[in-house]
Structure 1
Amino acid sequence: MSKPVIVFAGAVYPGQFGLLCDYLRHSGLAESYFLTTPGHMKRNRQRGNHILGFRPDGPILSDDRYYYSAKVERSARIGRGLLNALRDLRKHTKIDVVVAHSLWGAPHFLYDEIDAAIVSYIEFPSFRAHGWDPAYPPDLAQRIADRNAEMLNFHQAVCSDLVICPSQHAKSMFPPALRSNIEVQMEGFDFTSMPAPVTGGREKMTIGFAARDLSSAKGFETYVRLVDKLASQGVDAQFIAFGGAEEVTYGYEQQAVTRAHNGQIKTFRDHLMLKHPRAAKVIEFPGKLPYAEFSKRITEVDLFLYPLKFGVANWGLMEILGRGGCVLAPDRGYAAEMIQDDVNGQLLPDNDDAWINAILALLDDPARRFRYGQKARNLARAQYDLSVTAPRYMTLFRQAMSNRAARIGNAQETANSPRNMP
Structure 2
Amino acid sequence: MKILFVHQNFPAQFPHLAPALVARGHHVLALTDEKNKRPSPVQTLRYKAPDPVKTESALGRSYTEHAERGFLVARGARALRDKHGFVPDIIIGHPGWGETLFLKEIWPEAALLIYAELMYRTRGQDVGFDPEMGPDRDETRFMTVSRSAHLIQAMVQADGAIAPTRYQADSFPPELRGKITVIHDGIDTETVAPDPQAMLALPGGGPVLRAGDEVLSFVSRSLEPYRGFHAVMRALPAVMAARPQAQVVMVGAEDPSYGGKPRDAASWKARLLAEVGGQLDQGRLHFLGRVPYADYLSLIKLTRVHCYLTYPFVLSWSLMEAMAAGAYVVGSDTEPVREVIADGRNGRLVPFFDSAALAGALATGLAGDPQGPALRQAARQTILDGYDLVRDCLPRQIAWVESRGAMR
Shorter-chain TM-score bucket reads 0.7 to 0.9
- Written as runs of structure 1 = structure 2, the 5 A alignment for 1:18-417 is 18-26=15-23, 28=24, 30-40=26-36, 44=39, 47-48=40-41, 50-56=42-48, 59-62=49-52, 64=54, 68-69=61-62, 70-84=64-78, 87=81, 91-92=85-86, 95-104=88-97, 106-111=99-104, 113-114=106-107, 115-126=109-120, 128=122, 130-132=125-127, 133-137=130-134, 144-194=142-192, 196-198=194-196, 204-233=213-242, 235-245=244-254, 247-252=255-260, 254=261, 257-258=262-263, 261=264, 265-277=265-277, 278-279=279-280, 281=282, 282-350=284-352, 351-365=354-368, 368-387=371-390, 388-398=392-402, 400-401=404-405, 405=408
**Greater Cα shift, 180-189 or 354-363:** 354-363
Match of 2:204 in 1: none
Q: Distance in 1 between matches of 2:69 and 2:102?
A: 10
Structure 1 vs Structure 2: percent identity of aligned residues?
Answer: 23
Post-superposition offset of 1:13: 2.4
Per the normalisation by structure 2, the TM-score is: 0.82
Q: In the alignment, does 2:12 pair up with 1:10?
A: no
Q: Distance in 2 between matches of 1:234 and 1:187?
A: 37
Q: 1:12 to 1:294 in 2, by over 3 A?
A: same
Post-superposition offset of 1:393: 1.3
Encode CA deviations 1:367-409: one digit per residue, 9 max, x unaligned.
632332233223313422322212211333245446x64xxxx
Q: 1:233 to 1:390 in 2, by over 3 A?
A: closer
Q: 1:224 to 1:54 in 2, by over 3 A?
A: same
Match of 1:420 in 2: none
Q: 1:160 to 1:334 in 2, by over 3 A?
A: same
Residues 47 and 76 in structure 2, CA contact (< 8 A), matched pair in contact too: yes
Post-superposition offset of 1:211: 0.9
The one-letter code matched in structure 2 to 1:290 is P
RMSD: 3.0
Post-superposition offset of 1:82: 4.8
Q: Secondary structure at the match of 1:276?
A: helix
Per the normalisation by structure 1, the TM-score is: 0.80
The one-letter code matched in structure 1 to 2:319 is L
Q: 1:229 to 1:33 in 2, by over 3 A?
A: same
> Structure 2, unaligned stretches of length 5 or more?
199-209
Q: 1:89 to 1:298 in 2, by over 3 A?
A: farther
Q: Secondary structure at the match of 2:81?
A: helix
> Structure 1, unaligned stretches of length 5 or more?
406-422
Residues 312 and 333 in structure 1, CA contact (< 8 A), matched pair in contact too: no
The one-letter code matched in structure 1 to 2:89 is D
Encode CA deviations 1:203-245: one digit per residue, 9 max, x unaligned.
8511111111111010111111111222344654111111111
The one-letter code matched in structure 1 to 2:45 is G
Residues 324 and 377 in structure 1, CA contact (< 8 A), matched pair in contact too: yes
The one-letter code matched in structure 2 to 1:34 is A
Residues 66 and 97 in structure 2, CA contact (< 8 A), matched pair in contact too: no
Post-superposition offset of 1:184: 2.0
Q: 1:339 to 1:25 in 2, by over 3 A?
A: farther
Post-superposition offset of 1:24: 3.0
Q: Distance in 1 between matches of 2:271 and 2:317?
A: 27
Q: Secondary structure at the match of 1:266?
A: coil
Count of matched residue positions in the alignment of Structure 1 and Structure 2:
384
Q: Distance in 1 between matches of 2:294 and 2:83?
A: 36
From the CA coordinates, give the structure whose radius of gyration is larger: 1
Post-superposition offset of 1:331: 2.8
**Greater Cα shift, 138-147 or 111-120:** 138-147
Q: Distance in 1 between matches of 2:113 and 2:337?
A: 25
